[in-house]
Structure 1
Amino acid sequence: MGFDTLPAESAPGVVLVGVDLGLPHFDDTLDELAQLAETAGYRVLDRVTCKRRAPDAALYVGSGKADEIKALALGHGAAEILFDQALSPAQQRNLERHMGMPVNDRILLILDIFAQRARSHEGKLQVELARLQYLSTRLVRRWSHLERQSGGIGMRGGPGETQIELDRRMIGDAIKRTRERLDRVKRQRSTQRRQRERRGAFNISLVGYTNAGKSSLFNALVKARAYAADQLFATLDTTTRQMYLGEVGRSVSLSDTVGFIRDLPHTLVDAFAATLQEARDADLLLHVVDMSNPAYHEQIDNVQQVLHEIGADDIPQILVFNKIDALSPGQRPVQAMDHMELHGKVCSRIFVSAHTGDGLDALRSLLAQRLIAETGSGKADPENASV
């Protein structure tokens, strides 16, 4: 995967840091973190990886490695240091003091991208809730004025403690208000879903790792113009359209949802519950996989993990292996369709290219067969039989 353009030279430069703790998904090239950084508008200056048996409690990487990273960052003139792993509030604060510059982690980077990309009212509310939940644990570093407070005679803890409590209460109130507004949006979505259910609509949701080509496939199937780009999290807001299946003479409801990613912050899983509800309520999931990505097996596992977290792992799936046009002739599948075992379940697998259209007719036929199998009817529904 890559980007058509790199960040401008004026973009803030960052040094990436990855710590190998012996976990199977460690990205020793930091390629995905680099793509996240570039998507957020940063310019990657250098990458550092190291191995540890366990994170250092104070500095995550230990003082010696922290000195090395600091010298490297200062030598490059970096504006910030980004860690691929989640940092605790104390580790983040200690690293910033040690480095003398901002230090952030993968979670805040994803939150920043989501904040830049959210377009709908619901999407903005969800991002704001996730951001507030993240910041609520990090008052010690986000509110620098707290460190300047000092206690006076007879004042246990001093004004600083009062200020922290005030800030926590303000964030708590903001979280409560945002949740209430999201609940109203969720109720509106529930009403829309009930209307679809009364019409007997068959609901299909596109899910998959970010940048697998979900939005491109969505556009190709329903002839829509949803935003699609070769970058991480190009689509944040759920889009639903009707897709007509000529073989059965009726339409189905097709939804494009936000892409998943490794170590998706739990605050985002919780905050995006309303959007991900489309996947939870689907009759069928089209799990889109970027076949051209060498790590697609790990990406499938990451998507399955998120589906499990949101309670959608029992919904029937069809694996759609996309981007076959990006493969060399020798790498392309011999058969257009086969089956694949996925966590103990056998799923249909089909190979397509949303870019060239290869395999899309076969995918529509497969969806028509699944619709007949699930509903027991292939007769036209006058209310839903519109293109």
Structure 2
Amino acid sequence: MADTLSRYHALVEAGEISFDAAQAAVAKRLNRLNEELADFRLSRRKSSALAWLFSRGEKREPVTGLYIWGEVGRGKTMLMDLFMAASPVRRKRRAHFHEFMADVHERIHAYRQKLKSGEVKGDDPIAPVAMELAEEAWLLCFDEFSVTDIADAMILGRLFTKLFEEGVVVVATSNVVPDQLYKDGLNRALFLPFIKLLQERMAVVKLESRTDFRLEKLAGRPVWTVPLGAGGDQAMDEAWARLTGGAEGEPSELIVKGRHVAVPRQARGLARFSFAELCERPLGASDYLAIAHAYHTVLIDRIPVMRGLGMRNEAKRFITLIDALYDNSVKLVASAGAEPTGLYLSDEGVEVFEFNRTASRLIEMRSEDYLAAPHERRVEPSADTGGIVET
């Protein structure tokens, strides 16, 4: 099996990417981590095989994970792809961080229901949930590690403390250095021990590539119509007719954790929503993932320019929505009040920084490469073919 660096050079030689010294350096660092994981995996096997001989074996130091951060479009996801393909670990899981946390909250809820019914004993669901996760995968890899939700922030310290105690190794990509996580968040002082924990258990590496490689692939396909108005509405109607082969479409709904998520119009694997229907209603990551899994193409009408803190909630939902569509290679056709880089106008709040990633992704989603890619339905972690990969 080729290692991470060899795979990187193979992509360069094939002309699929341009060589970048910073990317190559991180690929080399990921190589070392895979070597450490292979050695640790072997030692665990030997320790297990000799457990009958020793009542108390010598405990090895845990493997230090990796936290790779840098600006959007620098190649972090590509490097994670290469690392995962080369990893010797059998019990491993890769997930977008928002999707992982949605899974964690669902497991916590399920455990609390068992507590109420008397099926299990105890008063804190965090530890058993962490142990369950550790049993499923001892290498966790997260794309787009970010913390904006107070519910996430308040449980991460206890959750990851237990994961690390169970020997879990974490690799993550992020657009921000750990010290900037949950910046300006409510009760952030309670979150600071988690940042310290990450810095103790993960080596922090900055990917300083020379350019935004996503922007270099901008294709300019006519899938983003500006400005809003009658012309934009007509363009969307024409796009719907062309993509569905003239089908009118009909309303439908998705069932998400017992709730009904309305789909105003769908036909032949396409769905059409207005911005208000997606981002002005109390929808969350699990709802957007359900949409991303169900439809290969989504049309969104009348995305407005979001100004200031007055539209902060809508902007946060929009960020999460685009993450779900992008991560599942869903094609996006939209009418909007501005180009992606001008959609969110504010001078304060963490959403300003996060929207830079969203704008970059929206631009990439217009490229020929993205539009040519097949719809990749990434199922929920609890499904049989979910985020745990056996190799």
TM range (shorter): under 0.3
- Length-normalised TM-score, structure 1: 0.24
Structure number with greater CO (CA < 8 Å, separation at least 6) is 2
Higher helix fraction (1 or 2): 2
- Length-normalised TM-score, structure 2: 0.24
Considering only CA atoms, is the larger Rg found in Structure 1 or Structure 2? 1
